[in-house]
Amino acid sequence: MGAAWRQARSRLAAAGVDSAAAEASWLLEAVTGLAPARQRLHPDTPLSTSQRRRLARALERRCAREPLQMVLGETEFYGLRLSVRPGVLVPRPETELLVEHALADLSEARPTTVIDVGTGGGAVALALAARRPLARIVASDVDPAALALARRNARALGLALTLCRADLLQHPRLCAAARSADLLVANLPYLPESDRGTLPPELAWESGAALFAGREGLSVARRLRAQAWRALRPGAVAWWELDARNAERFAREALAVGWPQAGLAADLVGRRRFVRLVR
């Protein structure tokens, strides 16, 4: 097993993978079932023919810069094990902070209604459902493949979501839910088009429509903000995750068009990229 790990590390490093040593261990864990610590305890254990074949295929995919999570078929988000698939955005660790902010605005003691716009594979919606079992979670996405993945994840976790295929809030079920919603949460495309060609090759495996949002990166968020202003009841809270280059501008614009409150929150490295609006 030690030889297999060294070969895997070497191939990954040659392909430009930054965390080659760690990823070699994780790929070995996927094919052998042995955690990295146990791998180190049994360096002389040989791989079976089947395991060698599976490892070779996994390495081929990862060396082509397919995201590790897609190679493994799953990722962890806010303590939940979620399936992932090519073409659907992989949940990012920093989006766990969006969940934290949303939870702070949701009561644990009474039923609430939450709308998750642009749910993708359901990560944010399912994390909220797991922590607020009294909440009704309505989640939307324009991509049927993303909704199918969200439905699969919800079933695997035994969590209830109401899923709608919609362009932002443009669905009768979403409009009805918005009239009584306590919270709207949105992790929408937020990268400017100028970022194309400058990003890691792994992003080519994800949906460009889930990443890029016009010249400034705000075209989709602005459309939702206008729809949310019309749809939400007074006092409802809306949280956005945005690019740090645009969050402050987005908040200022919201105040200028009538939102009574707009606040900013930072990520773990101090970049202000989460926006809280109150209707």
- Is a pLDDT exceeding 90 seen at residue 253? yes
- Is a pLDDT exceeding 90 seen at residue 44? no
Q: Which pLDDT score, from 0 to 100, does residue 41 have?
A: 84
Distance CA 178, CA 113 (A): 8
Question: What does the pLDDT look like over 87-98, one tens digit per residue?
Answer: 899 999 999 999
Distance CA 233, CA 229 (A): 8
Q: Comparing 45 with 17, which gets the higher pLDDT?
A: 17
Q: Which pLDDT score, from 0 to 100, does residue 197 have?
A: 81
Q: Which pLDDT score, from 0 to 100, does residue 134 have?
A: 96
Q: Which pLDDT score, from 0 to 100, does residue 159 have?
A: 98
- Is a pLDDT exceeding 90 seen at residue 58? yes
Average per-residue pLDDT for the chain:
95
- Residues 55 and 47 sit within 8 Å (Cβ to Cβ): yes
- Residues 100 and 169 sit within 8 Å (Cβ to Cβ): no
What pTM did the predictor assign? 0.92
Q: Which pLDDT score, from 0 to 100, does residue 25 have?
A: 95
Distance CA 34, CA 127 (A): 28
Q: Which pLDDT score, from 0 to 100, does residue 43 have?
A: 82
If pLDDT is split at 50, 70 and 90, which confidence band does 140 have? very high
Distance CA 220, CA 29 (A): 39
If pLDDT is split at 50, 70 and 90, which confidence band does 14 have? very high
Question: What does the pLDDT look like over 21-36, one tens digit per residue?
Answer: 999 999 999 999 989 8
If pLDDT is split at 50, 70 and 90, which confidence band does 1 have? confident
Task: List alpha helices for the chain, DSSP H.
Answer: 2-14, 20-32, 36-41, 49-63, 68-72, 95-104, 123-131, 144-157, 172-178, 219-231, 247-256
Question: What does the pLDDT look like over 206-238, one tens digit per residue?
Answer: 888 889 999 899 999 999 999 999 999 999 999
Domain segments of the chain as ranges: 2-64, 87-278
If pLDDT is split at 50, 70 and 90, which confidence band does 202 have? very high
Task: List alpha helices for 93-246, DSSP H.
Answer: 95-104, 123-131, 144-157, 172-178, 219-231
Of 64-68, 209-213, 249-253, 262-266, minimum mean pLDDT range: 209-213
Answer CATH for 87-278 from 3.40.50.150, 1.10.150.120, 3.40.50.720, 3.30.70.240? 3.40.50.150
Q: Which pLDDT score, from 0 to 100, does residue 208 have?
A: 86
